[in-house]
Amino acid sequence: MTDIGIGAPVRRVEDARFLRGAGRFVDDIAAPGAAYLHVLRSPHAAARITAIDTTAARAMPGVLLVLTAAELDIPARLRCVTPRHRRDGSPLVQPPWRVLPADAVRHVGDAMAAVVATTPAAAQDAAERIEVGYEPLPSVTDLAEAARTGAPAVWPDFAPDNECFHFSLGDFAAVEATFARAAHVVALDYRISRVSANPMEPRNALATHDPIEDRYTLYTGTQLPHVMRNEIAEFALGIPSNRLRIVSPDVGGGFGMKESPFPEHVLCLLAARRLGRPVRWTATRTESFLSDSHARDNVSTAELAVAADGTFLAMRVRTLSNMGAYLAWQGPVSSTNNVGGLAGVYRTPHICTEVTGYFTNTQPTAPYRGAGRPEAIHAMERLVDLAAGKLGMDRAEIRVRNMIRPEEMPFQTGLDYAYDSGDFPRNQALAMQAADWDGFPARRAQSDARGMLRGIGIANAIESAGGPHRKPLEEGAEIRFDSGGTATILLGSHNHGQGHETVFRQIIASQLGLAPDRVRIQFGDTDVVAHGRGTIGSRSMMAAGGALVGAAEKVIARGKQIAAHLLEAAEADMEFADGTFRVVGTDRGLGLEAVAKASYVPGALPDGAELGLGAALVTRPGDATFPNGCHVAEVEVDPETGETRLLAYAVVDDVGTVINPLLVKGQIHGGVAQGFGQVFGEAILYAGGQLLTASFQDYPMPRASDFSDILVKSNPVPTRTNPLGVKGAGEAGTVGALPALVGAVVDALRPHGVTHLEMPLTPERVWAAMRG
């Protein structure tokens, strides 16, 4: 099975249907008699609701139901599950997030009311006839403004100063003492811009209700079906979890945004129960900009203390983080859970950080590809570039001087994380070789001759995957053999573009010797799959893959019992390899499929024996993993226009055991592309409380023509924290892209005295910096 097992470059089996347009997404699911929901959204960033008149809307043709807060017969609210605290030790401020507010709206796009009608157009027309009385209030959409004394309070009764939580980590006294004696200190004030996930498939919902069982079904594209089921059932609807089924079929991208419950899910379910018919909702693209959770959006001051010889001594970072108007399901995760990444791949002995979350009149922020990891690496790598400049050292040399070396593993960093494995110096050496780092001066001279500015950037990235660190979450997997001898694999991990249907077949081929066409993969249905945490944080291979390996081991153990009986041998004399059970030292054996068939045959097994073959396992990895790598980006800047062109990009990544090199490269390419988008254009902008970037005309997404070739090479150092030795690849590309690309542009502008640029690096911003 080496040609289809672990390590083989197997092409994605999913593509056979996706490339033919045969994927099955929520909008492809038939629902005879379905009605359509439309949400009326607030035009104000902050306003008191003084009146709502739905009379005209209810009289419109095709209207079946109008919902406002007054019509809801349950609290219908969403919650945040991330435990954080205020400065006095009390729990973080968590104001109520009702699916329809009764008293006030708190951001443009806040759900005000919902109309259900026989067609989408009828629902929209009726919603526009709802008359709402608003009393506009002062608003604040900028994070720095929200943190200032006297800023408008988003929740005056809960957080008059807009502060939601305060988080700190590290030995502050040791850091302060080290800074006091350091030969050099470099500092950087910077912003990480607000972005939107913008998956190809917008958020959606199709809800039904069975009055006989009083049971709901929700079809929706989500990364966490089981988690969402529990959240919506128990905390939004107030019903037991087994009265809600969630089905998440093919999903057109998630990127973290689709891990959370949203008001529209609950509204569709409530409407379906009241009407006794299916209810659909799919966001328009502008509606997505107004109602999806956003991401990133923080302001930081970072400092690095350096010895005279370039040794890193200490680091401290203070961050303000934008929570939006409400707390998303895992809102504070991005700004707090991965701050250990500030240590990077370096031996910096003392690090401390503070993160303060603030409310603003904007949409909630939530995890997005990387979820705090890109922000942490951006801080460290930009400081390293500044330190190299201040000391007159080569950027690559100062990095190598401070890197944790393989022989030092396991290594406890200066902030939280303990790395178990990795070869960081080799990552950088291979990346520089792949990028022809030594040949860059000649290429720069060629650009100079054409009147262009050329720059090269380097960044070493590391992240915590599958965490939280030291407390990774569990995952489930099940292997079911039918009486025909074929297998169905049920996974709690969900596939929304990663290629799970391919790689989990590869794992089964290696573990059980089953050909791919003899295996069916199923996920995304809470009635079929017993348990799952879902797909976030680059955890699928290490968590679900580990669970699948454990389930396969249980199948083999059970199969030996059955095979021993069928072959009239002792169980201790049975061995299993390449899909066959054999009696040791003989040519007598039975294939796994034959054993599976026999396990269902009456009389084939001893009287009273359990029939059938299969195994399920819910388990957790030994620890989080630490994917790492080195990125090198090369750019050219036109000094007349400020336009930047990406010329070359090279990545060397250690994702542990590589299950499928083709899919790893695809994940790295996608991650780099999303990092590129944030660096060079993507930014959610507000003015006067209004969202300025509500379409792709205003929010520039990267295109294929924006990219050079992205060269990806592997330097795998398997981890021992999970059975497969995998570390994760889903977010690795994004984590290193921000500082590598920013560093490359800054390097190009160095002759103009530029040492740092804020994202996004638009032509206007780059042009202005050269004339600053």
Q: Do 669 and 735 belong together in one domain? A: yes
CATH code: domain of residue 70: 3.90.1170.50
What is the rounded CA–CA span in Å between residue 428 and residue 459? 9
Both 124 and 219 in one domain: the answer is yes
Q: What pLDDT, on the 0 to 100 scale, is given for residue 467?
A: 79
User: Do 229 and 83 fall into the same domain?
Assistant: yes
**How many contiguous H segments (helices) and E segments (strands) does the chain have?**
19, 32
Domain match, 598 and 629 both: no
**Which tokens is 88 given?**
């006095």
Residues pairing with 134 in the sheet: 49
Q: What is the pLDDT of residues 536-569, one digit of tens each?
A: 889 999 999 999 999 999 999 999 999 999 999 9
Secondary structure in 3-state letters for 92-106: CCCCCEECCCCCEEC
pLDDT of residue 579: 96
- Answer yes or no: do 477 and 462 share one domain: no
**Helix axes of 373-391 and 395-402: crossing angle, nearest 10 degrees:** 110
Confidence of residue 392 (pLDDT cuts 50, 70, 90): very high
- Confidence band for 631, pLDDT divided at 50, 70 and 90: very high
**3 in any annotated domain:** no
pLDDT band at residue 205 under the 50/70/90 scheme: very high
Q: What does the alpha-carbon distance between residue 623 and residue 468 come to, in Å, rounded to a whole number?
A: 8
Domain hosting residue 133, numbered range: 31-137+203-283
Q: How much of the chain, in percent, has pLDDT values that exceed 70?
A: 100
- pLDDT per residue over 253-292, tens digit each? 999 999 999 999 999 999 999 999 999 999 999 999 999 9
pLDDT at residue 2 in the model:
64
What are the C-alpha distances in Å from 122 to residues 113, 126, 216, 375?
Answer: 15, 6, 25, 44
Same domain, 651 and 748: yes
State yes or no: pLDDT of 1 exceeds 70.
Answer: no
578 and 639 in a single domain? The answer is: no
Contacts of 89 (CB under 8 A, 6+ apart): none
Could you write out the three-class secondary structure of 498-557? CCHHHHHHHHHHHHHCCCHHHEEEEECECCCCCCCCCCCCCCHHHHHHHHHHHHHHHHHH
CA dihedral sign of residues 678, 680, 682, 685: positive
Q: Is the pLDDT of residue 723 over 80?
A: yes
CATH number of the CATH domain containing 458: 3.30.365.10
In this structure, the answer to whether residues 317 and 440 fall within a common structural domain is: yes
The answer to whether residues 234 and 299 belong to one domain is no
Six-digit token string for 531: 């348990």
Instruction: Please give the Cα distance from 28 to 706 (Å, whole number).
Output: 32
**Residue 181 domain flag:** no
Task: Answer whether residue 559 is part of any domain.
Answer: yes
Q: Range with the lowest mean pLDDT among 140-154, 273-287, 328-342?
A: 328-342
State which of 227, 251, 283 marks the end of a domain: 283
131 & 254 share domain: yes
Task: Classify residue 289: in a domain, yes or no.
Answer: no
Quote the number of domains for the chain.
3
The pLDDT score that the predictor gives to residue 472 is 86
Answer whether residue 91 is part of any domain. yes
Does residue 394 belong to any structural domain of this protein?
yes
- The answer as to whether 693 is a domain residue is yes
Domain end (from 619, 639, 672): 619
Would the pLDDT of 512 be above 70? yes
pLDDT confidence of residue 308: 98
CB 649 within 8 A of CB 710: yes
Please identify, among 257, 283, 309, the residue that sits at the C-terminal boundary of a domain: 283
For residues 412 and 348, state if they share a domain: yes
How confident is residue 524, by pLDDT bands cut at 50, 70 and 90? very high
With contact defined as beta carbons under 8 Å apart, do 340 and 464 qualify? yes
Phi, psi (rounded to 5 degrees) for 472: -65, 150
Pairing relationship of beta strands 487-491 and 475-481 according to DSSP bridges: antiparallel
486 and 566 both lie in a single domain? yes
Which residues does 380 contact at the CB level (< 8 Å), separation at least 6? 302, 304, 315, 341, 342, 343, 344, 346, 739
Q: Which helix (H) or strand (E) holds 423?
A: none
Rounded mean pLDDT of 351-362? Answer: 98
Q: Is residue 193 part of a domain?
A: no
